[in-house]
């Protein structure tokens, strides 16, 4: 756990997204689409920001992720800003890496009900990292993975 945990992610990426069409609905209808992600270090390396283009079948949009490392707690905080809703910053996901796997949690709301959100960053192969998002409607007893992102270097 260090402020260098996300160093593998600095640079430009092609992204293959896979997202459940309906979340927390018991379905298995996935939507696949492409995107790009450009990541830059901030705060002398203690943080980073990425600019994303998500090319959904019904129209592309942009989003930003901001990450910052807290040396006192040895934890990362991750915020998401969706360009379609520029007045709303999602609650921070908070967590850490252990042996190349980053696990982050937050409490949020989905369609008016409280949920627990989990991000998993799989950086065991830093040239092909994977991000996963899961929701839990029962306080973390069960999880539904609803979005994955597989990254490959834009300029290997």
Each residue's pLDDT tens digit, 40-82 = 999 999 999 999 999 998 999 999 999 999 999 999 999 999 9
User: For 101, what's the count of Cα atoms within 13 Å in the CB-facing half-sphere?
Assistant: 5
Q: What is the pTM of this model?
A: 0.93
Compute the distance between CA of residue 38 and CA of residue 116 in angstroms, rounded to an integer.
28
Res. 1 pLDDT band, cuts 50 70 90: low
1 located within any domain: no
Contact 132, 151 (CB under 8 A): no
Give the whole-number percent of the chain exceeding pLDDT 90.
90
What CATH number does the domain containing 68 carry? 2.40.128.20
2 located within any domain: no
85 located within any domain: yes
Res. 2 pLDDT band, cuts 50 70 90: confident
Q: How many residues in total does the chain contain?
A: 156
* Cβ-based burial of 8 (10 A; exposed 0-12, middle 13-18, buried ≥19): middle
Closest by CA to 89, choosing from 64, 52, 110, is 64
Q: Domain total for the chain?
A: 1
* pLDDT value of position 136: 97
42 located within any domain: yes
Q: How far is CA 60 from CA 17, 19, 53, 130, in A?
A: 13, 14, 7, 21
> Taking 80 as the threshold, does the pLDDT of residue 115 lie above it?
yes
- What is the rounded end-to-end Cα distance, in angstroms, of the chain? 27
135 located within any domain: yes
Compute the distance between CA of residue 26 and CA of residue 29 in angstroms, rounded to an integer.
10
75 located within any domain: yes
- Tell me the average pLDDT of the chain: 95
* pLDDT value of position 121: 97
* For range 6-13, the mean pLDDT: 96
Compute the distance between CA of residue 41 and CA of residue 47 in angstroms, rounded to an integer.
6
Q: Which domain holds residue 138?
A: 7-153
44 located within any domain: yes
106 located within any domain: yes
């Amino acid at each position: 756990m260090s402020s260098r945990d996300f160093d593998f992610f600095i640079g430009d990426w092609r992204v293959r997204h896979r997202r459940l069409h309906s979340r927390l609905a018991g379905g298995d209808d996935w939507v696949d689409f492409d995107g790009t992600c450009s990541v830059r270090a901030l705060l002398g390396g203690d943080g980073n920001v990425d600019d994303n283009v998500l090319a959904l079948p019904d129209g592309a949009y942009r989003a930003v992720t901001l990450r910052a490392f807290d040396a006192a707690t040895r934890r990362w905080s991750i915020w998401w800003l969706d360009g379609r809703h520029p007045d709303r910053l999602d609650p921070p996901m908070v967590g850490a890496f252990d042996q190349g796997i980053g696990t982050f949690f937050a409490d949020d709301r989905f369609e008016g009900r409280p949920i627990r959100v989990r991000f998993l960053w799989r950086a065991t192969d830093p040239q092909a990292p994977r991000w996963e998002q899961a929701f839990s409607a029962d306080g973390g007893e069960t999880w539904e993975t609803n979005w994955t992102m597989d990254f490959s270097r834009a300029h290997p």
